[in-house]
A and B are shown apart, each in its own frame.
Chain A
Amino acid sequence: MTTDLPLIGDYSTPQTPLNGARIGVVTFPGTLDDVDALRAVRLTGAEAVSLWHADDDAAATLAGLDAVVIPGGFSYGDYLRAGAISRFAPMMTAVAEAAGGPEGSADGLPVLGICNGFQILTESHLLPGSMIKNDHLHFLCRDQQLRVENTDTAWTRDFEPGQTITVPLKNQDGQYVADEATLDRLEGEGRVVFRYVGWNPNGSRRDIAGIANPAGNVVGLMPHPEHAIEVGFGPDTEHGVRTGTDGLSFFTSVLTTLASRGGAA
């Protein structure tokens, strides 16, 4: 199915079969791209709900939500190791539980980790592997091409298999690493969801930009789809300055997933 998108700048609620879907975005101290993730959710017609990492009643909060985004930034300043402190937040304990643990579950909470969010998901052992410093040792901000390798996850259903998309990449610790056995297993199970195309910007093993858990309800990636959702503010394309909106399909995909499960909670 497809989801009608609102016109850019039109903030009236679009009429879609998914009105009422509620998607949370977690803020930790040092989170930066939470406002962007909230905007992306809003632009696809769902209700965007701001979540606090230290929520005393995180499990109950999550019970009223249909999906969760762990956004980018430098939570706790990346001190110790990116994501290493945030994983202990009460909200992350509740997210891990709702997502179905390391294996996930087909009807578990859909979770998308972007950049620092991806790092938090690996630190939480919801996704395997880890991110280390870029091989060139610099922070790098660029419009990055990715190939969508798996359209059978909660967050990629609205892409075409093998589709090449452009979304901004911006990080210092973006080099995906894992042992060979883990990489082989990821490849074998089709859990490599995104691969860098054209140029590997950070030395990631096997050009991996994003992966999923076994059930496909938890996806993490280093590039930022929430920064390619609105004409005028996304990456450059050949049709003009900042016209790229390839990131929108992440956020419509989860609505499609929820619809296929029988509608929003």
Chain B
Amino acid sequence: MSQQFSIETVEQAAAHPDLEQPWAELGLKEDEYARIREILGRRPTAAELAMYSVMWSEHCSYKSSKVHLRQFGEKLTEEMTRHMMVGIGENAGVTDLGDGWAVTFKVESHNHPSFVEPYQGAATGIGGIVRDIISMGARPVAVMDPLRFGAIDHPDTARVVHGVVAGIGGYGNSLGLPNIGGEVAFDASYQGNPLVNALAVGVLKHEDLRLANASGVGNKVVLFGARTGGDGIGGASVLASESFDDGGKPAKRPSVQVGDPFAEKVLIECCLELFRDSLVEGIQDLGAAGISCATSELASNGEGGMRVELTHVLLRDPTLTPGEILMSESQERMMAVVTPENVAAFEAVMAKWDVEHSWLGEVTGDGRLVITWDGETIVDVDPRTVAHDGPVYERPYHRPSFQDALQADTFRSSAAGQDLPATGEELRAAVVELMSSPNLADVSWITRQYDRYVRGNTALSAPDDAGVVRVDEETGMGVAVATDCNDRYAYLDPYAGAQLSLAEAYRNVTTVGAVPLAVTDCLNFGSPEDPEVMWQFAEAVRGLADACQELGVPVTGGNVSLYNQTGGVAIHPTPTVGVLGRFDDVLRRTPSGFGRDADGQAVYLLGETRDELDGSEYANLRGHLGGVPPRVDLARERLLGELLVNMSRDGMVDAAHDVSKGGLAATLADMVLRFGVGARIVLDEIVRRDGVDAFTALFSETQGRTVVSVPRTEEVRFTDMTTARGYTVTRLGVVDAESGALEVQGHFTLPIAELREAWEATLPRHFG
């Protein structure tokens, strides 16, 4: 096919400085375009303009968030870096697990594509995060998905839910990665802008660690995997860095990529074979900004430059222009640097796995990234100016004008907070209503569409507090991962809300018995150009960085997703936090429910209960959102975590479940639902000691609490330990395997069968 476009060379750009260029259509601001001209000393070629526009987009350059994200580095302490092998800045952070093992994990967003085309958006979200993990030299071993959708009964929600869940399953299941947990929440604030975050975990031996850099003059640059097509052009610059207009449509042409999970599975195995035989010097996945990103990142992280011939790129669509090839976000592609001696061995691995590859060029020593088209130079730039020296904005921010009134509107003072349940019958009905509400109802309609077994190392998955996978089959050493966020808390107070998200994930990891080691975050917010949104972002980052310091766990990587808004209305600030912890032996993990063999065990609550209903699920049930979130006490959270890990290690607890959304009522309901084993509970001691009524004891969301079941033989050791460490415990009652009910003595008896029916019915009713 003959070429349908003319090629613009660097020479031509220099010769015709006044040509009008479509910088605004590509998402660049006027001063950014001027800055590019200044860097180059001339106007950019069409291809250079394409590269800068995607790499300087909000999605790729973090231009609005960078000044705040620095705190994650600045607030690191020696304690936090003890286990950290690779921190923020690489494809994903890497944490030492001991015995020569390491783990890498990261959470990323794929929000905008998942609204436009839910199936492919969610599928390629998994694909992208998994390639980040492979790029570190690791084998991907698990995925998780924190999801947030619009109101459950809105007519558009089912479209998004069906597509997203099928996309995650369709892609993740085909990759052979167990889906070990995540979150599902419904709130009208996400109606036009659902959040689809994807977390992946990978494991590696220390010697397998790979970084994205191109070094060694004369080494070959190779592109392998799927062919390059016209899908996803401008995905990062146009879709991920713009708000949707009021019609819920992106302001520009939709640009969602299309995934091929089979190609990715083959790519995983192929890359692992390359790593095993040490055949690549540097490697980078192609995600947002495609070849623009891979070439400029590899070149700028290395010591030299790179020269690439763009006509060597294998295409699906021969009509693509150089600019489109540079911007294409076609999936399942990787770029690597290979020494000349390893070229033949590299090609043999490609042939074994039937993976297409093309040699694009080589590493040079002149510090320039030069891209040619049939030998004519169309890009000649300093790669650092593309990959790292993008604009940095100190966006103005201020506390929202509504914040004071919002915080003054407490649940107790509101109309919704009057005439609360008090009799046994009213409390019983409230528990059933709460457990069948969208955010607490059974999510197995979703999780049963995901493979949780593949690879045979899954020791816990949803609905337990954290997903747990074994890493070393000989010792049983493994990791636990939990992701959490409470967006309503973050809306009421972004600083505290971000800290509470971390506290909950940290608590979940320790509740199953793992020692927290590292944090990843996906910061989902509205438009940074709105000073009130920017304040939410700045507060959340500050809160999270401070909390990480206090809990002694570092952020090793993550992602920022801005412009999550429709029209002028932003989503709730949603700082999703993932915490990773380590087990000596994953068989010590604690499940979240009472087992049949636990009959007669004592049920204890760790922690005290205050009247904290603002932002709670109960308030949400009554349509109220106002006041201030529960008090944050990270020193107590840390102590609780230490106690829970020790209890798990010493076999003092057989079940454990943290108290969070929905309060003690939701925790106890989950625990009896898990294996269908009931319990007899007494609230009197909480009521007397903490000065709260039964309603508050059941539905308050005071932090720093976990419910455990303790074998009778361990009760003395258990109470000695908690007393010695000064942590309040309450003996709530006993596990009763015969009763088949959750009995709250003096108030109500709720048969598990009745509770289960209500709890299981909600999601199938809307989506089944």
Contact = CB atoms under 8 A, between A and B. Distances in A.
Interface of A: 9, 11, 29-30, 32-33, 35-36, 39, 54, 73-74, 76-79, 138-142, 168, 170, 172, 224, 226-227, 229-233, 236, 238-242
A117 B103 CA distance: 32
Contact of A241 (B174, B473, B474, B591): B591
Contacts of A168: 453
B354 A29 contact: yes
Interface stretch (B53-61, B443-451, B637-645): B443-451
A35 B450 contact: no
Given A141-B452, A142-B448, A233 B354 contact: no
B452 A139 contact: no
B673 interface: no
A226 B175 CA distance: 18
Interface stretch (B259-267, B362-370, B710-718, B724-732): B259-267
Given A9-B473, A141-B450, A232-B586, 14 more contacts: A9-B474, A29-B269, A33-B454, A39-B473, A77-B174, A77-B262, A77-B263, A79-B262, A170-B453, A172-B173, A227-B454, A233-B457, A236-B675, A239-B597
A32 B266 CA distance: 11
Contacts of B352: 54
Contacts of A238: 596, 675
B470 interface: yes
B456 A227 contact: yes
B114 interface: no
Nearest to A31: B176
B575 interface: no
A32 B451 CA distance: 11
B595 interface: yes
Contacts of A236: 675
A76 B261 CA distance: 10
B543 to A, nearest CB: 34
Contacts of A32: 174-176, 265, 454
Contact of A73 (B176, B473, B591): B176
A77 to B, nearest CB: 3
A141 B266 contact: no
B463 to A, nearest CB: 11
A226 B265 contact: no
Given A11-B474, A141-B449, A227-B453, A76 B262 contact: yes
A35 B455 contact: yes
Interface in B434-485: 447-460, 464, 470, 473-474, 476
B305 interface: no
Sorted from nearest, which 10 A-B pairs have the closest CB atoms? A77-B262, A32-B176, A241-B591, A36-B456, A227-B453, A74-B174, A238-B596, A139-B169, A232-B587, A168-B453
Contact of A39 (B269, B453, B456): B456
Contact of B597 (A36, A142, A240): A240
B456 A230 contact: yes
Given A29-B353, A232-B587, A233-B470, A140 B448 contact: yes
A241 B262 contact: no
B557 interface: no
A162 B608 CA distance: 53
B202 interface: no
A224 B452 CA distance: 12
Nearest to B591: A241
B457 A241 contact: no
Given A224-B453, A227-B453, A33 B459 contact: no
Nearest to B674: A241
Point out which of B265, B464, B591 has the most chain A C-beta atoms below 10 A from its C-beta.
B265
A138 B456 contact: no
A226 B456 contact: yes
Contacts of A232: 459, 586-587
A29 B453 contact: no
B455 A36 contact: yes
Given A29-B266, A29-B353, A239-B597, A139 B456 contact: no
Contacts of A36: 453-456
B596 A141 contact: no
A241 B449 CA distance: 20
A226 B452 CA distance: 14
A76 B447 CA distance: 25
Point out which of B175, B455, B456, B476 has the most chain A C-beta atoms below 10 A from its C-beta.
B456
B528 interface: no
A78 B261 CA distance: 10
Nearest to B737: A238
A222 B175 CA distance: 18
B176 A77 contact: no
A233 B423 CA distance: 44
A90 to B, nearest CB: 14
19 contacts: A29-B269, A30-B265, A30-B266, A32-B175, A36-B455, A36-B456, A74-B173, A78-B174, A139-B169, A139-B449, A141-B447, A170-B453, A227-B453, A227-B456, A233-B456, A238-B596, A240-B595, A241-B591, A242-B460
Interface string B243-268: 00000000000000000111101100
B170 interface: yes
Given A35-B455, A74-B262, A230-B456, A30 B449 contact: no
Nearest to B170: A139
Contacts of B450: 139, 141
A194 B459 CA distance: 27
Nearest to A8: B587
A173 B47 CA distance: 45
A77 B170 CA distance: 10
Interface in B568-587: 586-587
Contacts of B260: 77
Contacts of B453: 36, 141, 168, 170, 224, 227
A241 B675 CA distance: 9
B480 to A, nearest CB: 14
Contact of B458 (A142, A172, A233): A233
A141 B455 contact: no
B456 A141 contact: no
Contacts of A230: 456
B262 A30 contact: yes
A79 B266 CA distance: 14
Contacts of A30: 174, 262, 265-266
Contacts of B473: 9, 11, 39
Contacts of A39: 456, 473
Contacts of B451: 139, 141, 170
A105 B464 CA distance: 47
Nearest to B470: A233
Interface in B133-189: 166, 169-170, 173-176
B19 to A, nearest CB: 45
